[in-house]
Chains A and B, each alone.
Chain A
């Protein structure tokens, strides 16, 4: 009897979860993708790994030049 009750509870949880998910409002893939693309193009210039640095001096991890003592 206990087994039955916990199985029932489990099934109820699964079904309630699906009900919640079914009620979500969705937008079309084309619209969703356009919005992601918009975000990316708006932020592309700040993306150092993508566009690089105007000069390597601006790169905090640039190769350190070794100095020689004359």
Chain B
């Protein structure tokens, strides 16, 4: 294991010049240390693995009902229901097995950019241009729109939300460049996360039982890793050449994958503290909106503005296959909780389930 040698602690030099000089030195040292440990390419190590020849993934269901672009979706922990939100201001809960719509909620705003299921499967949260995150209680007896609560408000649009570990808290990312952790019951702001200098577009939680870390991706092209308790940024990655639209932890918890408007997906390893793979092809020139891993982490699914889903071999860094079916941009995609299926949502107003 290597660590950067102690930077001689100078007497607190209060001048901006001294601090920026130190910052420059630190940045150079960081690059140097990361490069020293860059001893091999991921695809080289993966050479000894067998090539993935064939994937039996076919379109199995089409969920029709939204009247405008589908912007976001989330699988229920029961592996059967999906919540989706759309530019038409509606949030719909689907039974993906039967394609029936179980609930439809009209939001007082259009462009509902984010939606998420709570771990119990009994609550869903959504929000967007209204700058708020609103939590709805799902009930078979009453109309879902009556049992709602506004939990938090940002100073700009909410782009993503996720329940970390329990129904009691919710984490949000916003166009105001911050992330925030809220208590669902009281609506209180528990923690603020400042560090991005551009709109936060995506969030994901580290896959661990204790789950105290999360990752965020932003229009400032940075990937930041945060400690939920202290509010501090513990690691940062750069490399993308344009807005980052999606971030997802590898199931091992040791790496994060990203998708960007620069038409590439990348893999950043947390312990090597650097980018270890780029998933790109010269023929792919459209932006990536959403990425997700299969259960083992071997496959990386990515949804693009050219209406397709590219399936990448995350280790060999080659594309395995393409999934065609949508008639417009793929805006969101997600592997189901038990890994049996992939759901995709699109500007063509539909969602599709592949298995």
Is the beta-carbon distance between B276 and A22 smaller than 8 angstroms?
Answer: no
Give CA–CA (A15, B19) in the complex, Å: 6
CB distance from A3 to the nearest CB of B (A): 11
Give CA–CA (A50, B299) in the complex, Å: 7
CB distance from B204 to the nearest CB of A (A): 17
CB of B171 closer than 8 Å to a CB of A: no
Number of interface residues of A (CB under 8 A): 45
Number of interface residues of B (CB under 8 A): 70
Q: Which residues of A contact B234 (CB under 8 A)?
A: 20, 24
Is the beta-carbon distance between A61 and B40 smaller than 8 angstroms?
Answer: no
Is the beta-carbon distance between B14 and A28 smaller than 8 angstroms?
Answer: no
Decide yes or no: A11 and B20 within 8 Å by CB, A32-B271, A35-B252 being known contacts: yes
0 or 1 for each of B171-209: is its CB under 8 Å from A? (1 = yes): 000000000000000000000000100000000000000
0 or 1 for each of B7-28: is its CB under 8 Å from A? (1 = yes): 1000000111001101100110
Give CA–CA (A8, B12) in the complex, Å: 13
Give CA–CA (A45, B19) in the complex, Å: 52
Number of A-B contacts (CB under 8 A): 182
Is the beta-carbon distance between B295 and A47 smaller than 8 angstroms?
Answer: yes
CB distance from A19 to the nearest CB of B (A): 6
Is the beta-carbon distance between A61 and B60 smaller than 8 angstroms?
Answer: yes
Give CA–CA (A36, B29) in the complex, Å: 26
Q: Quick one: closest A residue to B59, CB to CB?
A: A61
Is the beta-carbon distance between A60 and B341 smaller than 8 angstroms?
Answer: yes
Is the beta-carbon distance between B39 and A30 smaller than 8 angstroms?
Answer: yes
CB distance from B228 to the nearest CB of A (A): 16
Is the beta-carbon distance between A26 and B236 smaller than 8 angstroms?
Answer: no
CB of B69 closer than 8 Å to a CB of A: no
From residue 257 to 298 of chain B, which have CB atoms closer than 8 A to chain A?
269, 271-274, 276, 294-298
Pick the contact of B1: A18, A26, A39 (CB < 8 A).
A26
Pick the contact of B298: A11, A25, A50 (CB < 8 A).
A50
Q: Which residues of B contact A49 (CB under 8 A)?
A: 55, 57, 294-295, 299, 335, 339-342, 355
Give CA–CA (A62, B57) in the complex, Å: 11
Give CA–CA (A46, B56) in the complex, Å: 15
CB of A1 closer than 8 Å to a CB of B: no
Is the beta-carbon distance between B296 and A46 smaller than 8 angstroms?
Answer: yes
From residue 1 to 51 of chain A, which have CB atoms closer than 8 A to chain B?
4, 7-8, 11-12, 14-15, 17-37, 39-44, 46-50
Is the beta-carbon distance between B39 and A28 smaller than 8 angstroms?
Answer: yes
Q: Quick one: closest A residue to B30, CB to CB?
A: A22
CB of B140 closer than 8 Å to a CB of A: no
Q: Which residues of B contact A46 (CB under 8 A)?
A: 295-296, 339
Is the beta-carbon distance between A50 and B52 smaller than 8 angstroms?
Answer: yes
CB of B61 closer than 8 Å to a CB of A: yes
Give CA–CA (A42, B295) in the complex, Å: 11
Q: Quick one: closest B residue to A27, CB to CB?
A: B271
Is the beta-carbon distance between B233 and A17 smaller than 8 angstroms?
Answer: yes
Is the beta-carbon distance between A26 and B271 smaller than 8 angstroms?
Answer: yes
Q: Which residues of B contact A62 (CB under 8 A)?
A: 60, 355
Is the beta-carbon distance between A30 and B45 smaller than 8 angstroms?
Answer: yes
Is the beta-carbon distance between A11 and B16 smaller than 8 angstroms?
Answer: yes
Is the beta-carbon distance between B23 and A8 smaller than 8 angstroms?
Answer: no
Decide yes or no: A50 and B294 within 8 Å by CB, A29-B40, A61-B60, A61-B353 being known contacts: yes
CB distance from B251 to the nearest CB of A (A): 7
Q: Which residues of A contact B15 (CB under 8 A)?
A: 8
Task: Identify which of B233, B273, B296, B353 gathers the most chain A CB atoms within 10 Å of its CB.
Answer: B296
7 additional A-B pairs beyond A32-B276, A44-B298, A60-B80, beta carbons within 8 Å, are A8-B15, A26-B33, A29-B42, A40-B298, A43-B296, A50-B296, A62-B355
Residues of chain B touching chain A, judged by Cβ–Cβ distance below 8 Å, are 1-4, 7, 14-16, 19-20, 22-23, 26-27, 29-30, 33-34, 37-42, 45-46, 49, 52, 55-57, 60-61, 79-80, 96-97, 195, 232-236, 250-252, 254-255, 269, 271-274, 276, 294-299, 314-315, 335, 338-342, 353, 355
